[in-house]
């Protein structure tokens, strides 16, 4: 007959002192208190299940009192009586919590933001901001909070159909590509198992991609009328000069708005646009004609002590907004179907190809379009610089002469 164990008392537990080796004080029913040499007092439960002995931690005294330890013992013994191993249950729970923690860390929004921060130096600032805004406006509230491995094609389709219903299909297409790139990056970095975007036929949802053509003006009379309208613009002087410079250089409106004084070399008459501001991710050298130099000298009196050449009308620390140039074109009387700031590039391309003797490769290189393979592209950027200086002068002369002509 087994000897009965005398239950512990609170006084006995409190007065228990550490010894050279760990020892135990038994309370009965498999519950005991282990006192370690450093004075720690650990509640443990010893039990047998399937002919095997197990031990399980029940808590630490005094955080877990004698009464609380006894309650835990009775609850655990109920599980044991049903053939449930509480040790395995605890391990399974910890594993599930660990898996959930990993899932919480790998929500789509967290992974998407992490990827954008990692590739920030490889893409233009405009591309980065545009992608992040698309995520925030149309994506994160649908799948951003979801663990990335739980996202299925149907969840992405909700985003695409919602945007298609708003008739913003091109924006939906760009967002889809950004979502797919996020999954590809996540898979490559061990944060996701697969890319559900691979299972979506985009054309069935959004139709075939239509090539976007910016409205522009290509006849001499129309171009002269536009230049005269800009000359007579009565709004902000900074906006007026930005439009004038935009008409003489072949860059995108974004590059004009974000142009900085330290990118301008007056001595060499060059504007060096860094790669992170370029859609091609390659630095672009823009030769500057005397007309453009005069515009810059004029602007130096207004903004020369700041960062941006054409800063925001609201403050010198921010670049001019996209709507500023567009709004100015509208105030000049041109509708969205007649002309947009980006139309200056199409204007130059068309007129230069039709009226000048410059090679196609020279014009396209100055427009920062890819020409040939990667090797020839790098070669062209160096080889065509002298010709691009001549091209820029030809274009400035063309515009200046139009203003001098009479119709």
Run of H or E including 178: helix 169-188
pLDDT above 90 as % of the chain:
58
Residue 171 pLDDT > 60, yes or no?
yes
Copy the structure tokens of residue 37.
């040499």
Q: May I ask the CATH architecture of the domain 108-206?
A: Orthogonal Bundle (1.10)
Cβ atoms of 366 and 388 closer than 8 Å:
yes
pLDDT, residue 377, reads: 44
Residues of the chain with CATH 3.30.160.390: 10-100
pLDDT, residue 99, reads: 54
Average pLDDT over the chain, rounded to whole?
Answer: 87
CATH number of 10-100: 3.30.160.390
| Dist CA 42 CA 34 (whole Å) | 5
DSSP per position, 361-394: HHHHHHTT---SSHHHHHHHHHHTHHHHHHHHHH
Residue 173 pLDDT > 50, yes or no?
yes
pLDDT, residue 31, reads: 92
Give tens-digit pLDDT for 116-153: 998 887 777 778 888 999 999 999 999 998 999 999 99
Task: Determine how β-strand 31-35 pairs with β-strand 23-28.
Answer: antiparallel
pLDDT, residue 93, reads: 75
Give tens-digit pLDDT for 271-327: 999 988 888 778 899 999 999 999 999 999 989 888 999 998 777 788 998 889 999
pLDDT, residue 237, reads: 93
pLDDT, residue 373, reads: 43
Residue 219 pLDDT > 60, yes or no?
yes
| End-to-end CA, the chain | 123
| Dist CA 318 CA 320 (whole Å) | 7
pLDDT, residue 101, reads: 57
pLDDT, residue 321, reads: 87
Give tens-digit pLDDT for 361-385: 899 889 887 654 444 444 444 568 9
Give whole-number Cα distances, 186 to 20, 122, 153, 179, 194, in Å.
53, 17, 16, 11, 8
| Dist CA 216 CA 205 (whole Å) | 31
In degrees and rounded to multiples of 5, residue 62 shows phi and psi of -95, 0
Reduce the DSSP state of residue 321 to 3 states and report it: coil
Copy the structure tokens of residue 172.
């939906």
pLDDT, residue 6, reads: 87
Cβ atoms of 406 and 221 closer than 8 Å:
no
| Dist CA 108 CA 135 (whole Å) | 10
The structure's pTM equals: 0.54
Residues of the chain with CATH 1.10.443.10: 220-404
| Dist CA 61 CA 68 (whole Å) | 10
In degrees and rounded to multiples of 5, residue 155 shows phi and psi of -70, -40
pLDDT, residue 375, reads: 40
| Dist CA 314 CA 137 (whole Å) | 25
Q: Which residues pair with 57 in a beta bridge?
A: 44
The three-state (H, E, C) secondary structure of 217-249, written as one string? CCCHHHHHHHHHHHHCCCCCHHHHHHHHHHHHC
pLDDT above 70 as % of the chain:
92
CATH number of 220-404: 1.10.443.10
Q: How confident is residue 328, by pLDDT bands cut at 50, 70 and 90?
A: very high
The total of other beta-carbon atoms located within 10 Å of residue 326's CB is: 16
| Dist CA 259 CA 246 (whole Å) | 11
Give tens-digit pLDDT for 11-24: 999 999 999 999 99
């Amino acid at each position: 007959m087994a000897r009965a164990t005398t239950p512990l008392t609170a006084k006995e537990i409190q007065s228990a002192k550490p010894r050279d080796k760990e020892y135990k004080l038994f309370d009965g029913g498999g519950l005991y208190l282990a006192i370690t040499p450093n004075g720690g007092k650990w509640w443990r439960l010893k039990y047998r299940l399937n002919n095997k002995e197990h031990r399980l931690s029940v808590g630490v005294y005094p955080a877990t009192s004698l009464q609380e330890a006894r309650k835990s013992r009775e609850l655990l013994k109920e599980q044991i009586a049903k053939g449930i191993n509480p040790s395995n249950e605890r391990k399974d729970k910890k594993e599930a919590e660990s898996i959930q923690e990993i899932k919480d860390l790998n929500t789509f929004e967290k992974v998407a933001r992490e990827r954008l921060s990692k590739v920030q130096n490889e893409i233009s600032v405009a591309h980065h901001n545009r992608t992040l805004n698309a995520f925030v406006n149309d994506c994160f509230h649908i799948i951003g909070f979801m663990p990335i491995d739980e996202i299925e094609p149907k969840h992405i389709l909700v985003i695409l159909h919602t945007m298609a219903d708003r008739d913003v299909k091109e924006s939906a297409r760009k967002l889809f590509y950004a979502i797919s790139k996020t999954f590809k990056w996540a898979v490559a970095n061990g944060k996701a198992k697969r890319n559900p975007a691979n299972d979506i036929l985009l054309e069935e949802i959004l139709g075939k991609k239509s090539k976007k053509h910016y409205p522009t003006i290509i006849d001499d009379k129309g171009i002269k009328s536009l230049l005269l309208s800009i000359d007579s613009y009565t709004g902000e002087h900074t906006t007026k000069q930005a439009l004038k410079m935009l008409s003489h250089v072949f860059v995108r409106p974004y590059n004009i708005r974000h142009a900085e004084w330290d990118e301008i070399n007056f001595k060499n008459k060059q504007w060096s646009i860094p790669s992170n501001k370029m859609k091609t991710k390659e630095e672009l050298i823009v030769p500057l004609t005397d007309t453009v130099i005069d515009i810059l000298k004029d602007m130096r009196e207004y903004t020369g002590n700041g960062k941006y050449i054409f800063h925001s009308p609201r403050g010198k620390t921010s670049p001019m907004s996209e709507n500023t140039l567009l709004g100015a074109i509208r105030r000049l009387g041109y509708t969205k179907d007649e002309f947009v700031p980006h139309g200056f590039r199409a204007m130059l391309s068309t007129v230069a190809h039709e009226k000048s003797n410059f090679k196609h490769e020279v014009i396209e290189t100055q427009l920062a379009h890819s020409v040939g393979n990667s090797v020839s592209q790098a070669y062209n950027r160096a080889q065509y610089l002298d010709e691009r200086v001549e091209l820029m002068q030809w274009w400035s002369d063309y515009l200046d002469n139009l203003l001098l002509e009479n119709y």
